[in-house]
Amino acid sequence: MNAIISASELADALAGANPPVLLDVRWQLSTATAAGEPPFDGRAAYRAGHLPGAVYVDLDQELASAPGGRGRHPLPDLEVFGAAMRRAGVSAGTPVVTYDGGTGWAAARAWWLLRWTGHPDVRVLDGGLPSWEGPLETSEPRPAEGDFVPVAGETGVLDADGAAALARSGLLLDARAGERYRGEVEPIDRVGGHIPGAVSAPTTENVGPDGRFRPAAELAARFEGLGVSPGSPVGVYCGSGVSAAHEVLALAVAGIPAALYAGSWSEWSSDPERPVAVGPDPQ
């Protein structure tokens, strides 16, 4: 099953016999709060207009635990996550489509969590809300309670030690902007740089100017150029495990399985005992 769905394909699916549950996961990474500006309000954006039948999911509250030693967006408590999914109408036998405001990062975080916890049929709307040409609605639906019960996967996620080991034994990709990888700027975390051995692979390069994923063959060629080889394990991290989920999604589109380091740089850099590399060289 393809991990993404186009707007036209989604319109057809919604008109079909088994329409998907729609999750609106609008969220933005913002450093504006440090300057005293209000943060992005995804719920307000949802109330102003969303895909018909979509239910809003709060990334900070329902797709992550409270920030702390495990990073800014550590994995959520599965009871909280499961309750949010059931509230949205997610059942084990119901297809799910997630979308956000266009970057795909937050939608990919929801996609990854659902897949990692055992849901068999989840896709991301390619291009997000801007790709949708149909009507929007402002009313908040109240779907019937779903029955999905998340179970943590035995594979597919990395902790700090696992990420460090993978950087030596396989391929660890850093999905942040190149300047953050190199340590030239660091607007959020304690220190700039990257995990020693990690390869710079900005997630923004997985999409075209319209925000939609590049064709699978182009993505496969990109990742091969970054060092992906058949049978070699691949992992991804970013600042806090959100844009990295988008890179895991891009890898899935290319047919490449990958693990997510959920704590990412926000966890790694919080411990002054962990090594930090700077500059363009992985080491």
Q: Catalytic residues, which ones? A: 238
Query: Is the torsion defined by CA of 4, 89, 91, 264 positive or negative?
Result: positive
Residue 150, sorted as left (phi over 0), alpha (psi -120 to 50) or beta, turns out to be beta
Question: Are the C-beta atoms of 76 and 64 separated by less than 8 Å?
Answer: yes
In contact, 125 and 232? CB cutoff 8 Å:
no
Looking at residue 130, the DSSP 8-state letter turns out to be G
**What is the helix (H) or strand (E) element at residue 244, kind and residue range?**
helix 243-253
Contacts of 252 (CB under 8 A, 6+ apart): 3, 258
Measured CA distances, 86 to 75, 255, 266 (Å): 18, 29, 30
Distance CA 112, CA 217 (A): 22
Contact 162, 234 (CB under 8 A): no
Element housing 271 (H / E): none
In degrees and rounded to multiples of 5, residue 9 shows phi and psi of: -65, -40
In this structure, the dihedral spanned by the alpha carbons of residues 242, 240, 70 and 37, taken in order and rounded to 10 degrees, is: -110
